[in-house]
């Protein structure tokens, strides 16, 4: 091993790694932070030769132990930044450890943006891709669908450049959403679009009214989403519309209102409410009723990433399933019955989003337009039965779990849900026969 790679790999005696939620911990035997692709390749080759497991880690924002390892943990924080950008084609190549927040900022300076985003921007781009991170929009797709090229470090230390329609189409297709199981991504080329603003319209409404015309809501808006407050019939609807690039409807959210609503109400006060609910679970129904009424209507215009992304400071655990859109009402009804029957102290709203079908092998939206139903529970409060209930409700509709959020499915079931599951496993057998990139979680979901 070169001196640089040796320096990059620090011993980590007693080092405990913890994910954002705090529900997953691991004790890697060593931690490395390469700053060049050659160093990364050398670290991976050395680990494979020594029969040692390797796991790349991004921002640790997955709720599953998908990023956990007791072997060599490689953080990509030393490989960041935009490497190449073409404003005419919108193709942007970015180092794998780049956080979405930094990427969005650079794209904005270039007059570009990602077509769609999830609700936070703390993730690394490679970590976001590895679990199929998505936002909402009935005609839009998840971030993996934007991938046009990947640079991947394989178990033997070789560095391959993969493109759509390139020499190894199977590896490209698998690695777009690769669960960290095929190699360490060092760079990603993304198809971006000209920067655009969004007119955000958020309003409270009775859940029954929203469900009565869910297809209408999704079809009429580029990015529709709803949050239903358990114990109530209240929902907060986000019905967001994209503006053509350059168009300006000029209604920014006053700064004081952003701070009040997004920081104080949605985070500071919400954290306090969760703490009261954790101490006094019997109060949860009333607390929810108050929370559901606290959010009013607002309309504002802002650059796309500022509308897609919200601060999320209150820590929680989460499960999310992609289901056919027609199943949403039945699943919410099932959750309502469960919460009331078990008197479950659920303070977080249930989130429902929508996405168009794509062709990414392990995408939760593979070849089907989907709705996503997500449940959350305040960190430290009982969550298992609630999350399991969503799993069983979603199972009745062929629900596909988000790869980065809590679920208990294993390969036998996932094989039935993903038509290209065996193709993915065949690619993995080819590029990682000795399972350098395996961990316990992948052994469960991929079968060995």
354 binds ligand FAD (CB under 6 A): no
CA distances from 100 to 37, 62, 97, 138 (A): 20, 15, 9, 22
Interface pick for ligand FAD out of 62, 116, 144, 301 (rule CB under 6 A): 62
Distance CA 66, CA 443 (A): 10
**What does the angle CA 80 – CA 84 – CA 89 come to, to the nearest 5 degrees?**
135
The residue with tokens 């769609």 is 116
Q: Which is nearer to ligand FAD, 128 or 381 (CB)?
A: 128
Per the CB < 8 A criterion, the answer to whether 422 and 80 are in contact is no
The β-bridge partners of 353 are 372
Distance CA 171, CA 175 (A): 6
CB of 405 to ligand FAD, least distance (A): 6
Interface pick for ligand FAD out of 31, 32, 54, 76 (rule CB under 6 A): 76
Phi/psi at 374 (5° precision): -125, 135
Closest to 321 (Cα-Cα) out of 250, 237, 405, 247: 405
The β-bridge partners of 226 are 237, 352
381 binds ligand FAD (CB under 6 A): no
CB of 23 to ligand FAD, least distance (A): 10
Q: Which is nearer to ligand FAD, 338 or 387 (CB)?
A: 387
Q: Which is nearer to ligand FAD, 118 or 230 (CB)?
A: 118
Of 125-133, 324-332, 375-383, 416-424, the window that binds ligand FAD (rule: CB under 6 A) is 125-133
Question: Scanning residues 81 to 100, which ones bind ligand FAD (CB under 6 A)?
Answer: 96
Interface pick for ligand FAD out of 8, 47, 54, 126 (rule CB under 6 A): 126
- 268 three-state secondary structure: helix
Q: Which is nearer to ligand FAD, 20 or 378 (CB)?
A: 20
431 binds ligand FAD (CB under 6 A): no
- 310 three-state secondary structure: coil
Question: Scanning residues 399 to 428, which ones bind ligand FAD (CB under 6 A)?
Answer: 402, 404
Closest to 336 (Cα-Cα) out of 243, 235, 198: 235
Interface pick for ligand FAD out of 32, 185, 375, 383 (rule CB under 6 A): 185
Residues that bind ligand FAD (CB under 6 A): 20, 55-62, 66-67, 76, 96, 118-120, 123-124, 126-128, 130-131, 133-134, 179-180, 184-185, 312, 402, 404
């Amino acid at each position: 091993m070169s001196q640089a790679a040796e320096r990059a790999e620090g011993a980590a005696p007693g080092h405990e790694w913890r994910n954002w939620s705090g529900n997953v911990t691991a004790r890697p035997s060593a931690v490395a932070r390469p700053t060049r692709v050659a160093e990364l390749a050398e670290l991976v080759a050395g680990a494979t030769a020594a029969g040692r497991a390797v796991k790349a880690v991004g921002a640790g924002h997955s709720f599953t132990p998908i990023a956990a390892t007791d072997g060599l943990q490689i953080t990509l924080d030393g490989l960041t930044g935009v490497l190449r950008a073409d404003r005419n084609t919108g193709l942007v190549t970015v180092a794998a450890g780049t956080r979405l927040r930094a990427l969005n900022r650079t794209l904005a300076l270039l007059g570009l943006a990602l077509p769609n985003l999830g609700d936070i921007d703390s993730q690394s781009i490679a970590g976001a891709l590895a679990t199929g991170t998505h936002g909402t929009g009935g005609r839009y797709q998840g971030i993996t669908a934007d991938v046009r090229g990947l640079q991947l470090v394989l178990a033997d230390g070789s560095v391959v450049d993969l493109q759509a329609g390139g020499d190894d189409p199977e590896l490209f297709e698998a690695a777009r959403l690769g669960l960290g199981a095929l190699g360490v991504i060092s760079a990603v080329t993304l198809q971006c679009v000209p920067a655009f603003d969004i007119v955000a319209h958020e309003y409270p409404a009775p859940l029954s009214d929203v469900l009565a015309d869910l297809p209408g809501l999704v079809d009429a808006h580029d990015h529709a989403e709803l949050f239903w407050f358990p114990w109530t019939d209240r929902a907060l609807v986000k019905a967001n519309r994209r503006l053509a690039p350059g168009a300006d409807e000029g209604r920014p959210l006053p700064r004081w209102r952003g701070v009040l609503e997004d920081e104080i109400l949605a985070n500071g006060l919400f954290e306090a409410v969760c703490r009261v609910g954790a101490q006094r679970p019997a109060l949860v129904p009333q607390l929810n009723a108050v929370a559901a009424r606290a959010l009013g209507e607002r309309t504002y215009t802002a650059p796309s990433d500022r509308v897609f992304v919200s601060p999320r400071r209150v820590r929680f655990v989460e499960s999310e399933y992609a289901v056919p859109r027609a199943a949403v009402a039945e699943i919410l009804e099932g959750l309502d019955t469960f919460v009331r029957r078990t008197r479950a102290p659920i303070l977080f709203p249930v989130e429902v989003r929508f996405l168009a079908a794509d062709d990414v092998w392990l995408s939760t939206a593979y070849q089907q337009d989907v709705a996503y139903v997500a449940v959350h529970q305040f960190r430290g409060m009982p969550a298992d039965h609630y999350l399991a209930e969503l799993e069983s409700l979603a199972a009745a509709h062929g629900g596909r779990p988000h790869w980065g959020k809590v679920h208990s499915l294993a390969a036998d079931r996932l094989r039935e849900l993903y038509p290209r599951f065996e193709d993915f496993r065949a690619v993995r057998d080819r590029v990682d026969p000795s399972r350098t990139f395996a961990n316990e979680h992948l052994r469960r979901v991929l079968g060995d």
